[in-house]
């Protein structure tokens, strides 16, 4: 027993020594690459669907997926609320030696994921038509949106279980299995999309069924893990939601949930603004909806990379901040800022120089479609080269124990700046107002993040 304890202490010591002594650049690569891959894989579902739907269905199909996107965001919000909340509490309780309580929290979280997923799926199916109208659908897009969303609703319980369950699996010390769950479903979706859309000629219904089958497979892998491969001592009687455990779960998962809800609110508002002012423009309502959907998916790739790097830096920053080695904290920040800024510049150049080619990957359209997409890319995404720094600064606050400040910083762009701007600007500038709202909100949010970030850096330098 003493030898086992000694071994555990030695392992912990080595881990601490690595975080405190290994070259910062190597640590950033070691922690950021897996996190980035996981983020990219989670984005793959929407991107793959968008590409094949654009090629096989066209502009109206792309617009339909954009209309359905708020439902995906709401599902992610629910999964993060329960998944991150359960995983964080599990780590805290096991660290304090409360293994039984930790398992009960995990059991409550798992049960709540299943119940929450089924409830959301039922609500979507019962109120599908009115929900799509709230999300900004037009009469031309409605048949496609009904087909796509009506089918993908059956995958909602598995989507929520997979997204939330993977956080729990990582907390149970199995990040490889967690990544495999996400990757396997995405690969299945990628294989089935062209088969169903082009081979079976199912159109947008084929894309929806491909998505659902991939989600079911990933969800089943999560179930298999907790039945056969789990490390925690989870028993059947623990698999029921209890308020005494759900309360701390909600507490630690709420920040991530609120951020996703804010994204959903902005997306719904954006769709309705694009529909209204697009109909009054020379482009019509459908072109702006389709273009905005494609561009948001492309931006997901960029943000997945930046968020992955941010997540990879958090343990390095947190450990060295806790050890009062502020020099290494600042070195980590400096190197990650340079890395993210460089990636941002590459994406900025792609968005400015090749918008037509990028939009063409997601299918063709009339000249007005490409003309609007080019303008949208170049204006709305103008501050791409600094946008990736926002999640880094926000995540940095969370990693040093200032989660509330991190949440405030992360919400500034969506709620404080972008939401009012996309409502106010089009009143004066028409459909172009939506485009200009993007970079102005980005600049304002970046300024806020930098002000708070510099203040914290000065505190560390003064010590």
Name, in order, each residue with C-beta under 8 angstroms of 96's C-beta and a sequence gap of 6 or more.
Answer: none
Please count the other Cβ atoms lying within 10 Å of the Cβ belonging to residue 340. 24
- For residue range 51-60, list pLDDT tens digits in order: 899 888 988 9
Q: Is 318 exposed, middle or buried (0-12, 13-18, 19+ CB in 10 A)?
A: middle
Asked if residues 271 and 422 have their Cβ atoms less than 8 Å apart, the reply is no
Region for 438 from its dihedrals, namely left if φ exceeds 0, alpha if ψ lies in -120 to 50, beta otherwise: alpha
3 state SS of 128 = helix
In the DSSP assignment, the letter for residue 138 is: -
390 pLDDT higher than 90: no
16 pLDDT higher than 70: no
**What is the pTM assigned to this prediction?**
0.82
State the Cα–Cα distance between residues 113 and 107, nearest whole angstrom.
10
pLDDT of residue 169: 87
Token pair in block for residue 204: 């947008």
- For residue range 159-217, list pLDDT tens digits in order: 999 989 988 887 787 877 888 888 899 899 999 999 999 999 999 999 999 999 999 99
106 pLDDT higher than 90: yes
């Amino acid at each position: 027993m003493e030898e086992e304890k000694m071994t555990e202490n030695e392992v912990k010591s080595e881990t601490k020594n690595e975080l405190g002594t290994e070259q910062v650049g190597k640590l950033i690569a070691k922690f950021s690459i897996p996190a980035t891959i996981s983020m990219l894989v989670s984005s793959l579902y929407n991107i793959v669907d968008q590409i094949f739907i654009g090629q096989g269905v066209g502009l109206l199909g792309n617009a339909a997926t954009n209309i359905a996107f708020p439902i995906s965001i709401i599902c992610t919000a629910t999964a993060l609320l329960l998944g991150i909340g359960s995983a964080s509490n599990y780590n805290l309780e096991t660290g304090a030696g409360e293994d039984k309580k930790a398992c009960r929290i995990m059991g409550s979280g798992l049960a709540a994921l299943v119940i929450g997923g089924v409830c959301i799926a039922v609500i979507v199916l019962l109120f599908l038509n009115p929900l799509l109208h709230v999300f900004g659908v037009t009469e031309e897009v409605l048949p496609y949106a009904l087909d796509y969303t009506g089918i993908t609703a059956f995958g909602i319980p598995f989507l929520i279980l997979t997204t939330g369950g993977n956080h729990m699996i990582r907390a149970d010390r199995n990040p490889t299995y967690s990544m495999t769950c996400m990757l396997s479903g995405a690969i299945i979706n990628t294989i089935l999309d062209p088969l169903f859309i082009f081979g079976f000629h199912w159109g947008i219904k084929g894309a929806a069924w491909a998505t659902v089958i991939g989600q079911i497979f990933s969800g089943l892998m999560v179930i298999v893990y907790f039945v056969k491969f789990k490390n925690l001592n989870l028993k059947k009687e623990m698999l029921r939601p209890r308020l005494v455990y759900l309360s701390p779960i909600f507490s630690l998962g709420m920040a991530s949930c609120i951020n996703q809800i804010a994204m959903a609110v902005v997306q719904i508002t954006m769709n309705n603004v694009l529909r209204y002012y697009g109909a009054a423009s020379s482009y019509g309502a459908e072109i702006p909806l389709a273009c905005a959907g494609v561009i948001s998916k492309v931006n997901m790739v960029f943000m997945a990379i930046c968020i992955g790097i941010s997540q990879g830096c958090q343990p390095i920053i947190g450990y060295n901040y806790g050890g009062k080695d502020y020099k290494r904290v600042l070195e980590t920040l400096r190197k990650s800022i340079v890395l993210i800024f460089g990636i941002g510049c590459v994406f900025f150049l792609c968005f400015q120089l090749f918008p037509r080619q990028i939009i063409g990957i997601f299918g063709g359209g009339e000249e007005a479609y490409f003309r609007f997409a080019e303008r949208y890319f170049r204006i709305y995404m103008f501050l791409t080269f600094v946008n990736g720094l926002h999640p880094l600064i926000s995540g940095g606050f969370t990693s040093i124990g200032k989660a509330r400040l991190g949440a405030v910083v992360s919400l500034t762009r969506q709620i404080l700046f972008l939401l009012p701007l996309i409502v106010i600007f089009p009143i004066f500038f028409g459909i172009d107002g939506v485009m200009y709202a993007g970079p102005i909100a980005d600049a304002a949010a970046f300024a806020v993040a930098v002000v708070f970030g510099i203040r914290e850096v000065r505190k560390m330098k003064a010590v």
